[in-house]
Amino acid sequence: MKKPIIGITSSYVDDRTLQTSYDNIRSVLRAGGTPFVLPNVTNQDHMSNYVNTVDGIVVTGGGDIDPTLFGEEPHPNLGLIHPDRDVFEVDLLKEAMKQDKPILAICRGCQILNIAAGGDMYQDIYTQMDHALLQHTQRAPRSHGSHFIEVTEGSLLHSISKQKKYKVNSFHHQTVREMAPGFNVIARSSDQVIEAFQSTKHTFVLGVQWHPECMTDEPSVRLFKAFIEACEKKKAITNET
């Protein structure tokens, strides 16, 4: 069987350049997928073609998200946004969920996934959450797990990681607030920040707030392998129909 094709979303560097971290590409390759970087094209006519072309989607990290997408004005601590990327990813995710394509949404990716499904987010956790927080923008190498998460027993993440508590890295000041309908929170940090969630309506739609593509620990490796396996199964089912 041919290796599954994995669409990887990209960030804007400026108005002329797109990029994605090679960590995203390396993690897909290592897990057995064929990486395919997606441009941020906001023409709705292309969405079904993109989703039909790939067997699964990795929604990557990056800058902040336009708060008007979930009905809010910009907070003073809102960082750089790229509206075209936001629109592209919302439309892409809606189409991918419609087709039940496997999705692994990472950091910013999990936030835009929640918004696409009808949830919202904190624009700045340090000023909008009303209790003391951990350091969620770590000052350590990207491969270092800086804080622990507690994983819900019996969840998709628990079945993948085989662990109820382990360390993850952390590079964010925004996070999911109100969970979208049809999704369950499946991991939190000790300060109750949402660290992972899964769809209850799809075969494999998983959002994580950290960056597993930058890590080589067993849970991170297993996460990408499980995602690729889900893509292979979806590809096989699609080819049968």
- CA 9/CA 1 separation, integer angstroms: 25
List 147, 172, 202, 211, catalytic entry: 211
List 213, 214, 231, 232, catalytic entry: 213
- CA 61/CA 241 separation, integer angstroms: 34
Q: Which residues pair with 121 in a beta bridge?
A: 176
3-class DSSP state of 137: strand
- Residue 85, sorted as left (phi over 0), alpha (psi -120 to 50) or beta, turns out to be alpha
Catalytic residue status for 107: yes
- CA 84/CA 5 separation, integer angstroms: 24
Catalytic residue status for 202: no
CA-closest candidate to residue 93, choices 40, 129, 140: 40
CA-closest candidate to residue 95, choices 45, 49, 48: 48
For the chain, helix (H) and strand (E) counts, in that order, are 7, 13
List 82, 89, 95, 107, catalytic entry: 107
CA-closest candidate to residue 117, choices 59, 74, 171: 59
In Å, how far are 6, 13, 134, 136, 209 from 128, measured between CA atoms?
Answer: 35, 28, 14, 14, 17
Please identify every residue annotated as catalytic: 107, 211, 213
